[in-house]
Amino acid sequence: MSAYPVPVEPYQPVFVGALKEQLDAVIARYPAKQGALLPALWMVQEARGWISDEAMAEVADLLDTTPAQVKGVVTFYTMYHQHPVGKNFVQVCTTSCCNLCGAEDVVKALLAETGARELGATSPDGKWTVIEVECLGACGFPTPILVNDDFIESVTPERVPELVRKYR
């Protein structure tokens, strides 16, 4: 523990101005406010890169539900980040169909090339986090990966260096 009080930045709400208007439009699509929860969480993640406990409380308040319920939803869906991740968040499918076609080698190549070295860890330069995910629904284009929102098909270990270079 620090001997001196560490200044904590007060939480800045996400849904102000244009984002608040956007959220209101989304809420209007559903007969119950809670229907807008998944879209709202996506908006938070797009704005901040991850979803903090404070953000969950903010969303809960806007949608007339409780922080506990929002947290239950955030922890259920694997695409929501509860901690900051590397600038490039890489998801590699390794389920059976891609597994048969060398997905695990793609993972190894990515871990090495990005410097992340371990699954789920962020590389020392803060630019990469690589994780294995389940079927990405592109089994005919092995191995598919997601780099943030970019869905890249047919990745092989040979293509990895060029890919990493492009995103770095």
Partner 1 sequence: MADVVSLTIDDVPVSVPKGTLLIEAAKQAGVLVPHYCYHPGLPVAGVCRMCLVEVEKAPKLQIACATQVADGMVVRTRSGQAKSGRTGVLELLLINHPLDCPICDQAGECELQDFTFQEGRPASRYSPTYPKRFNPVEDFGPDVLYVPNRCILCTRCVRFMEDVAREPVLNVSERGDRAFIGVHPDAQLDHPWSGNVVDLCPVGSLLSKDFLHKARAWELDKTASVCTGCSQGCNVTLDLRDETVVRIRPRPNLEVNRYFICDHGRANYRWMNRGDRVEAPLVRAGGELKAVDWDEALDRARTILAGAGGSAVALVSPAASTEALYLARKLLGRFAWTGAFEVVMGEEAPLAGVPNLALRAERAPNARGAELLGYGRDYAAALKAAERAAVVLVIDDPDAQFTTSGEVICLGTEVPTGAPLHRSSVVLPVANVAEEDGTFVNRDGRVQRYFQARSAPAMARPAWWVLGQLTDTPPDSAAAAFDALAADVDAFRGLSYAALGLTGLRAAAGAGVPA
Partner 2 sequence: MGYPQKPHPKETVVLSEYFGDPEAKTFKGWVKRGGYEALTQALAMDPAAVTEEVKASGLRGRGGAGFPTGLKWTFMPKEKKGPHYLCVNADESEPGTFKDREIMRWTPHALLEGTAIAAHAIRAEVAYIYIRGEFTEPWTVMTRALAEANAAKVFGGITIHLHRGAGAYICGEETALMNSIEGKRGNPRIKPPFPAVAGVFGQPTTINNVETLAAVPHIIKRGSAWYKSLCLSSPKSTGTKLFSVCGQVQKPGNVEVTMGFPLKDVIYEMCGGMRPGRTLKACIPGGSSVPILTREETERCLLDYEGVAEAGSLLGSGGVIVFDDSADMVYQIMRLARFYAHESCAQCTQCREGTAWTTKILERILAGKGQTKDLDLLLDLSDNMTGKTICVLSDSCATPVISGIKKFRSEFEAYITGQRRPVLVA
Sequence-distant (≥ 6) Cβ neighbours of residue 155 within 8 angstroms: 92, 106, 143, 144, 145, 163
> What is the spatial distance between Cα 90 and Cα 107, in angstroms, rounded to a whole number?
10
Site for partner 1 in 33-92 (CB under 8 A): 53, 56-57, 65-72, 75-76, 78
> What is the spatial distance between Cα 147 and Cα 145, in angstroms, rounded to a whole number?
6
**The only residue of 47, 68, 119, 135 in contact with partner 2, by rule CB under 8 A:** 135
Site for partner 2 in 52-111 (CB under 8 A): 63, 65, 69, 72-73, 76-80, 91, 94-97, 99-101
**By the 8 A CB rule, do 130 and 141 touch?**
no
> With 0-12 CB in 10 A as exposed, 13-18 as middle and 19+ as buried, what is 5?
exposed
Decide: is 121 part of the binding site for partner 2 (CB under 8 A).
no
Closest distance to partner 1 from the beta carbon of 164 (Å): 30
Give the number of residues in contact with partner 2, rule: CB under 8 A.
45
Binding site for partner 2 (CB under 8 A): 29-39, 41-42, 63, 65, 69, 72-73, 76-80, 91, 94-97, 99-101, 133-142, 146, 149-151
